[in-house]
Every structure is written in structure tokens, then in C-alpha cells.
Structure 1
Amino acid sequence: MPSKPAPIKKAAKKEPAKKEEKAPEPAPEVAPAPAEGEAAPAEAAPAEGEAPAAPPAEEPKAPTPPPADAAPTDEAAAPVAADQPATDEETPAAPAEAPVDAAAPATEETSAATKAPADAAAPVAEETPAAAAEAPADATTAPATEEAAPAADSEAPADAEAAEAPAPEEPKPPTPPPPPPKEPTSVPLDLFVEDKNDTSVTIIWSQPETVGPSGLDGYTIEVCKDGTEDWKAVNEDLQKSCRYVIKNQTTGDRLKIRVVAVNAGGRSPPVTLPEAVLVKEVADRPKVRLPRFLRQRYVAQVGAKINLTIPFTGKPKPVVTWTKNGQPLDTKRVNIRSTDRDSILFIRASERDDSGVYEMCVKVDDFEDKASLILQIVELPGPPASVKIVDTWGFNVALEWTPPTDNGNTEITGYTIQKADKKTGDWFTVLEHYHRLNATISDLIMGNTYKFRVFSENKCGISNDATVAKEEAKITKTGIEYKPPEYKEHDFTEPPKFTTSLNDRATTVGYSTKLLCSVRGCPKPKVTWMKNQMIIGDDPKFRQICVQGICSLEIRKPGNFDGGVYSCKAKNDHGEATVSCKLEVKQPAVADADKK
């Protein structure tokens, strides 16, 4: 082929470089001739796929000069034959680079030599000592030189053809391997029902364990009625998430559901629910959540409005029923309003008859829950049934009474006991919040006659009426005579005496002032006011007051001439007393501007 001589030339050009790097070794004088029957290395071109074999060895001959036509080839090949020993590895190297066309006219001997196994020369190389392995070029290359001439002749036309042949094409990149076939994913995992109601079913699942290189495009959800195999997809587009709500289903149907993963490789194996799903709302057990304040007795007064809200849970909507003392409610008295979450018991105006045990029941399918609350409507109690006086001694009276017949629908918390003197008829509370049914009333007044009454009391208050004891209690004198002590009459007469005297005062013209003093005496002394030793009398400018010994003289808007010495004189049958003071009346201060 014309494109193969090029590598030969490249190899030939590289050999002289090796010669320059390593100096030739001296060749031994005698080289061992190959034994009879052994094949010598051949230089004939090997056939394709076969290792080159050496031609049969002959007597060593002098190297034949190469022809002129093969000069370039011989220049490349001569150093190899003359200077380098032909080892087992290099011997087939030169023939391997030879073109196949040059080996075509080989003789039968050459072809036989090429067919001889290369291993035939291997034992020789192994048995020959190291010195013999480096045989001189004269002995090892003798057969090669004999074949050099025809090889050069065969290479000459190859060079000419290589010169005329076009330049070799650039090597093309290797063709990529075909892509692996696309495969669907593995089956989706963990499919189960998350929720359901009367018209829809919600399912969730997990993505497949093996997705593969093709990825995952989505899921198809398919359903069919139980007992059939008519599977139909319920989603038009592929479902990306692992949750889907199957809507618009008929209540009561049983559906088989499965999910298929889809990608470029196709549909995966389906994952199917183990059992058909009944399209019906999941029953959640009902539960009444009674508020804390209703867990004990709920008390209200007569006439109060009752509005109690009791929440509950359950799914679907529970059926709520109420009873009172085990009987249906009177809808005229009690209103019930129920929603999905709670129930309200409403009474507009409560009465005593509304008291009782109310029971609320919520039911879902076969499940139910109950809660009870006690409603107590209370009012003021009635009076005690009876009150009587058991005993009277000294200044004491013993009472007893019985509880009221009407306690106001609640327990009695105490009693209030009152007494009244028959002379006055006024009632006074003796005991209150008293818990016993008997009491002893003490500290009564001897000689008086008393009545007693008792009130009942509960959490609403004291009864409107009281029960009065029919008997009366008279505290009699039992052999005791009262002798009042004899006292010496005290003489309280006393002459007048001023306990507080008058003090000097100063005032301003036009500003009223008052003089004060106090006096005592028995009998009550007569008080006289004087100015400059002259009795003031009923002068309207002065105001005289004397109350319980406190004497005062008020001077109204005194002028320049009202100043002087004022005296107060007290006199009775046993004597008299006088006190005096000085009053100074000043002019008001005048500003400089007013003076001008």
C-alpha cells in the first residue's frame, strides 16, 4: 500500500541518532554458525498478523554493497546491520515496518521461513552465553546483507509510489459508543391512604428506589372499581409530587388504586393498594370536651339566663342528643343549638324546675361519647319550720328551731336570731350566720318580756320571712331587792372664773377682728363687754356671742376710733371676774403713686 513507506523512513532516520549516542562495540573474530536444522532469522516481510521469521542461516559472507538505487534506504538500514547486534526484540522490528507490497514476491523458501515459529531461534538465544548474544555484525548480519539487495529493489518502487501518493489523511476521532437503552424506573414505594371523605380519597407514596439515567417524568394514578380490571387514569398530566387527591367519586364505591412511575423508558411496574378503599369519610371517634367550670355543679339564681357552650370533636359530623334526668328535653323551656364543633344549651329565664342532670351524647357510626352536667337553679329559702322557747332562767333564754321546708334548692348556710322587747317592739339581731338549730340568748334585762324570731340563710341570701316563737320570755325578779346607794349631794356652785384671758390684738382699718375668752361658773355667769370701761351694749358695730363659756366679741370693719381697751366682765351670785386687752387699729399702707 502506498501509505506505509512513510513510517519506514521515519524509523530509518531515528536509527543514526542511536548510533551517535552509543559507540559501536568491537566485533569478535569468529561468530558461531547456526546449527543444522535450525532456522536463521529471516528478513522477508511477514504476512499480516504473523510475526516475522528469520531466513535459514548460511555461511558468513562479506557484506554486499547496496545498489545505487537503494542508497537512501541502505543509508538508514546499514548502521543497523553493521553496528548494532540483532537481538530477539529488534530482529522482527525492521520487517514489521516493511511494506506489505515488498513482501508479496517472496519465494517459497521465504514463505516457509516466515511461517517457521519465532520460538525456534529463542532456544539458541537462551543457550548462547552473554558474550555470544552480542555477536559481531559480520556473523549476524551476513544473511541480512544477502537479502538486502532484493529488499532495496522492492523498496525503490515503494518510494516512488509514496512520492506520487497523496498526503495521508488526518486520523478521524473514534466513533462514540451507542447510548445505553432507556429503561423505566423501579416500582414506586409505600403507597397508602392519607385521608378520605364522602367524595374524595387522598393518597401518598414514595418515589422509586431506582430511577436510572432516564430520570423521572412523573406519576400516573389509576383507579378501577372493586371486582373489575377497568383501570383508568384520573390525572390528565403527570403528577410531579408524591401526593394526590382523587376527587369527584361516588360515596359508597370501593376503589382499587395504583400508581405508576413514568419516564423516557416507559412505565414502571405499578404499586397497588393491598385492599380496595371505601369512599366514605373516615370515622373519628367522638369526644365531648366538657369545660372545667361545668365539671362541678353549675348554680344560677331563678330568673337568670343560662347559656352553656360544650365543645366536642368527631368526624364526620356527630349526631348530638340531649336528655334531662334521662328524659327528652322540653323544647319549650330549653333550646339546643349544635354546630360541627360545639353544642349550646340556652334557657332565656331559668326556673327551679330547670334544675337537674343534663346529659349530652355525641355519636359517630357505632362510636359515642357522653358527658353530664348538673344545673341547679336556686332562690332564697323559706323561714324555719318552727321556733320555740325551751327554757328561761335568770337573764337567759334557750331557743330551738327546725330547718325550713323550702331551702331554695340549695343547702342552708346559717340562721339569724333576733329579739324584741315587748314594750318597744323593736327587733335587734342577737346572732347571725349561726349554724346550729339551738341557741342560748343571754344578758337580758330583768323585768322585761321578750319575743324571738329566726331567719334562714343560703347562698342567695336571707329568707324574706322569719318564724316567730309563739311563747314569750319574761325575765322576773327572783328575790332580789334593789337598794340604790345613798350619795351626798355635791355643791357645784362656783363664782365666775376666766379660764382663757383676752390677748392684745392689732388690726387694720376696714378689716374685721374678733376677741375671744372663756369663763366658767355656777350658776351660769352673765357676761358684759366694755370699751374703755363703757358698756358696749347693743351697738350694731359689735357682735357678742357666749356659748358654753366661750365668749367672743367681733368688731366689724373697725375705724380709726375703734382702738382702745376692751374688757369682758362675768358676774353671778357668787362673784364676778374681768379680763381686758388692748386693740390697736392701724392705717393701711399707701403706695408712693397713690400719695402723689
Structure 2
Amino acid sequence: MKIFPWSPASGWPSMEAATAPEAALGPTLKEKEASPADADGPQASPRRGAGSPLPQLLPPIEEHPKIWLPRALRQTYIRKVGDTVNLLIPFQGKPKPQAIWTRDGCALDTSRVSVRNGERDSILFIREAQRADSGRYQLSVRLGGLEATATIDILVIERPGPPQSIKLVDVWGSSATLEWTPPQDMGNAALLGYTVQKADTKSGLWFSVLERYHRTTCTVSNLIVGNSYAFRVFAENQCGLSENAPVTADLAHIQKAATVYKTEGFAQRDFSEAPKFTQPLADCTTVIGYDTQLFCCVRASPKFAF
């Protein structure tokens, strides 16, 4: 509070003179007295332009997005050509998140793949799988600025093609050597090996001699002498054996070799032995006019006569 002195000459100072020193000090806050109308009405808010959009309030995230990938899908999911692919992937998130499927980073082909998204899961469905459906599928679950992803590798396979250029290389004794080249089509899977079969011309029945053999050349042994054999080779992968197999153009004739017996000379053993009495002769008495016989034991070789 400021006190202004009064004097008879000057009188009371004017209001402008009283406020001049205060104005020189700088701006001051001024409070507007509230009127009854202002007290009853709502508090004034800053005005927005006519074209400015109103902000939308997003619901709070009660549960973060997360994908529960089944254990069987954590490794490559293998199906045969023509099989149905039906994958159910559960997830969580509240409020309901947005589920998006992609394949190799691109959108899915809706003519081949169907997707159904529910409250707690997503289903990927392929009615008849083809080899072109193989690839890396990715599921993304988005909620606000949060995202959870899961990757599934799908491999569609079929039987491999037959081996190429099978031929009979050599035949000796009771054995035959074969040679061939790998098939041109592996069936979209690694080969597990080759199956070699033989058939003789008499019965015409095929028997497997080698299974899941990894090389492209082999020797078939223990063939029966006097028979003629044909051979064929199948390729095998996880889907099974190839539908057909090439057969050797030439037959393997197992001929009986001529056997020559040679006798080795050896010294003959001499078994001859000089005569020798084995028992001594005994004295005997006889009566005149009677027959008398004398016996003796003699050993000799060769046999002799007295």
C-alpha cells in the first residue's frame, strides 16, 4: 500500500499520477471477476478451427498380442500333393487384435488360400495342396503399436521321377555291375536313396536286392549260374518310390565256366610185408591111420598161398 501525502497547495493526487509508477514496473496479471452467468456455465475451452479433426480416443490395451504356435508347426510342415492344409493358430490380445497372413513377404493368393480370423485364433486353409503352395507363411497379430509374428514353413512334396540312363556295365562270374544317373525331378524333397531289383527270365518275378542305396553304381552278386537277369532301379524320397523304373536293355547271362580238374602226382606207399608167423607152432601127437591137421597163423602182404 502506498500513502500519498496531502497538501493545501497540491491537493489530492490524481488517479493517473498514482498509477504511473506501477505501470513503469511491467505487465501484471489481471483477474476477471466472475459473473453469475460464468459461474453457472461450463469452463471455456480453446477454440478449434472448423477444419481440424477431433482426436479419437483408443480403448486401453488390456492384454498384449501374443501367438501360441503349436509345437508341430515349429518345424517344416510337410504335406503330399493333393492333401488338405488346415492350420489353426491360437493367439491372444484384448481388445481384438488384427491378424494378417503373408507368404514370402507378399499377400496371399485368395484363389488358392482361405483365411478365417476369429476372436482368439486364425485358420489357414488350402483345399488341395500343390507344390506351388510351398513357402514361408507369416502370421502377424497387431494391436495398437504392438505386434507379434510367427513363421510357418510349408513344404508340399510328391514322388520323384525315375532314374535316367540305367545300363549294364559288366558281367563276370555270378555278379553284374549296374550304372545310372539321378532323376530329373526330385519331387520337391531330398532323395532317401535308390531301390535296385532283379528278375530272372524264367520266373519273371522282381526281387529287391538293395534298398535306400545312395550311390549311382552298384554290383549285384550271388546270381544263379545258368540264368539270365534283368534289372531296374527306383528313386525314393519322403513321399515314397517313383511310380515307374527303367529296365536294363541288356540281359546279364550267368554262364557256367568250364572246370578242368588237375591231379597232383604223389608217391605210392609201399604196403608190402614179408611173411611172418604171428603165433608159434605147437607140438602135437597123432595116431597111425588117422587124419591129422596142422594150423598156423602167418601175416604177409600181398596175400600169398602155401
- 1:367 Cα deviation (Å)? 2.2
Distance 2:72 2:186 in 1: 24
Q: What residue number does 1:408 align with?
A: 187
Of all paired residues, the percent bearing the same amino acid is: 50
* Count of residues in correspondence between the two structures: 213
In structure 2, what is the equivalent of residue 427 of structure 1?
Answer: 206
Q: Does 1:350 align with 2:129?
A: yes
2:81 paired with 1:295: no
Structure 1 residue 386 displacement after superposition: 3.0
Is 1:282 aligned to 2:61, yes or no? yes
- Cα distance in 1 for residues equivalent to 2:108 and 2:259: 71
Cα separation, 1, equivalents of 2:147 and 2:43? 32
Who is 1:418 aligned against?
197
Residue range with higher mean Cα deviation, 310-319 or 469-478:
469-478
1:441 partnered with 2:217? no
Shift of 1:425: 3.4
> What residue identity is the alignment partner of 1:331?
T
2:152 counterpart of 1:373: yes
1:478–1:227 Cα change, 3 Å: farther
Q: CA deviation at 1:308?
A: 0.6
Tell me the SS of whatever aligns to 2:182: strand
**What's the offset of the Cα at 1:227?**
5.9
The alignment partner of 2:187 has SS state of coil
Partner of 2:241: 462
Q: How far is the alpha carbon of 1:449 from its aligned partner?
A: 2.6
Give the distance between the partners of 2:43 and 2:61, measured in 1 at CA. 19
Which residue of structure 2 aligns with residue 391 of structure 1?
170
**1:340/1:395 CA distance change after superposition, 3 Å:** same
- 1:334 maps to 2:100: no
Give the superposition deviation at 1:423: 4.5
1:462-512 CA distances to partner (integer Å, 9 max, x unpaired)? 222012223332223444369xxxxxxxxxxxxxxxxxxxxxxxxxxxxxx
Tell me the TM-score normalized by structure 1.
Answer: 0.33
Q: Is the 8 A contact 1:284 1:364 kept in 2?
A: no
Quote the offset at 1:331 in angstroms: 0.8
Query: Distance between the aligned counterparts of 1:412 and 1:225, measured in 2?
Result: 80
Aligned AA for 1:446?
A: V
Deviation at 1:284, TM superposition (A): 4.6
Tell whether 2:92 aligns with 1:313: yes
| Alignment check: 8 A CA contact 1:252 1:280 kept | no
- Do the aligned partners of 1:288 and 1:362 also contact (CA within 8 Å) in 2? yes
One-letter amino acid matched to 1:328: A
What is the aligned counterpart of 1:325 among 88, 94, 104?
A: 104
1:293 CA displacement: 0.6
Contact 1:283 1:365 in 2 (8 A): no
Q: Which amino acid aligns with 1:474?
A: H
Matched ranges for 1:27-176 at <5 A? none
Per-residue deviation, 1:368: 1.7
* Higher RCO (CA-CA < 8 Å; seq separation 6+): 2
Distance in 2 between residues matched to 1:426 and 1:225, nearest whole Å: 101
Q: CA deviation at 1:447?
A: 3.6
Match for residue 181 of structure 1?
none
Inter-partner Cα distance in structure 1 for 2:260 and 2:45: 118
Segments of 5+ residues of structure 1 without an aligned counterpart are: 1-223, 229-250, 254-277, 483-596
The equivalences for 1:495-510 within 5 A come to none
Structure in which a larger fraction of residues adopt helix: 1
Deviations 1:314-363 (A, max 9, x none): 23322221112222111111100001211100112222222211111122
Structure 1 SS opposite 2:61 = coil
> Taking structure 1 as reference, are residues 279 and 407 closer, same or farther at Cα in structure 2, changes over 3 Å only?
closer
The answer to whether the Cα contact below 8 Å between 1:252 and 1:279 also exists between their aligned partners in 2 is no
Distance 1:227 1:317 in 2: 35
- The one-character-per-residue Cα deviations of 1:15-73 (angstroms, maximum 9, x if unpaired) are xxxxxxxxxxxxxxxxxxxxxxxxxxxxxxxxxxxxxxxxxxxxxxxxxxxxxxxxxxx
Q: Secondary structure at the match of 1:280?
A: coil
Secondary structure in structure 1 of the residue aligned to 2:223:
coil
For 1:455-494, what aligned pairs fall within 5 Å after superposition? 455-480=234-259
